[in-house]
Structure 1
Amino acid sequence: MNNYKLIYILFLFPICLFAQIKPTKYTLQKIVKNSVVEMKNGKLSLPSNKSWEFNNIDSLYFKKDTLNAFVYKKGTKHKSLCEVVDWTFYRKNALVFGQGSNCKEPPTRKVTRNPEDYYT
């Protein structure tokens, strides 16, 4: 029985330590690079399947110091978030800010204005 505990500790402990490592700058750059939306005929489709979505219930997006982003797999767009703030990366160092509501039928989205909603 003690052998099983020892094996369990030897394999589980390194995995738990590795899971706690913070992402590096390179890893974050790679994630953003994979999130860049391709323009079609010089135009963006907002929001895109690659957009990062943030829950904005009770305007917490604007009040919290830590945000959790949701990025869905290609082809699966879930509407589980009621009030949404989204970031759509259209270049390496640039994104479009957007807001929408999925609770009402039909879903609505605030107008994206240039240059107010475009960030670098």
Structure 2
Amino acid sequence: MKIKLIIIILIFTSVSSFGQSVLKSELKKMLTETLVKSRNYVSDATNSWFYDNTENDYKTQDTLTFKTARSFKRDYCKIINWTFYEWNKFRLEFADYCNEPPTKLASKNEDYYEFLVEEKDKNIFVYLKNVNGIQDKFKIVELTKIEPIDSGNDQFDYRIKLTRIK
């Protein structure tokens, strides 16, 4: 009986969704963690949150899911990266890995965004602001921390699900 209880607890804690209860401070902590851990020397380190843009729907899709895991198999053709260089600032990147040679578009001035976070009525809203002002608005509908495939202090695996506000 005790073993079953431990297994249930382990399963429950291995995938934990913060969802609506996520706080602005928790989001900042998570973004900071991914940035700090990505700077540890690991050959496949990344500070990017990526979205599968194979359907070319990044600008039109109402719900976007971004992932962070270093260990996640990226078998997408086209990827949108939010590559953070500070916890609240990122560079928007467009990459195509299905054509030879694989390509990533050079970043322009308007590809640099500020990630503005607002907590209102127990919800978290994110505003993406570049040199031209606020370009996108999202509500965080789910924030999930998943136990990474690889163990170690430099591993992380988060997923964030955003709903576009029009």
Given the alignment of the two structures, is residue 71 of structure 1 paired with residue 68 of structure 2, yes or no?
A: yes
Runs of 4+ in 1 over 6 A off after TM superposition: none
Match of 2:24 in 1: 25
SS of corresponding position for 2:33: helix
Given the alignment of the two structures, is residue 110 of structure 1 paired with residue 105 of structure 2, yes or no?
A: yes
Q: Whose strand proportion is higher, 1 or 2?
A: 2
Give the AA of the match of 1:82.
C
79, 85, 93: which is aligned to 2:88?
93
SS of corresponding position for 2:63: coil
Structure 1, unaligned runs of 5 or more: 39-47
Contact kept, 8 Å, 1:85 with 1:100, in 2: the verdict is: yes
How far apart are 1:20 and its partner, in Å? 5.5
SS of corresponding position for 1:58: coil
SS of corresponding position for 2:101: coil
Query: What TM-score do you get using the length of structure 2 for normalisation?
Result: 0.49
Cα distance in structure 2, aligned partners of 1:33 and 1:21: 17
Match of 2:57 in 1: 60
Q: Which has the larger radius of gyration?
A: 1
Match of 1:81 in 2: 76
Instruction: Deviation per CA, 1:18-60: give whole Å up to 9, x if none.
Output: x55423322211121123365xxxxxxxxx6121110112221
How far apart are 1:72 and its partner, in Å? 2.3
Match of 1:45 in 2: none
Cα distance in structure 1, aligned partners of 2:106 and 2:73: 21
Query: What TM-score do you get using the length of structure 1 for normalisation?
Result: 0.65
- Percent identity for Structure 1 against Structure 2: 26
**When the two structures are aligned, how many residues end up with a matched partner?**
98
Q: Whose helix proportion is higher, 1 or 2?
A: 1
Structure 2, unaligned runs of 5 or more: 40-44, 115-166
SS of corresponding position for 2:110: coil
How far apart are 1:64 and its partner, in Å? 1.3
Range 100-109 or range 22-31, more displaced: 22-31
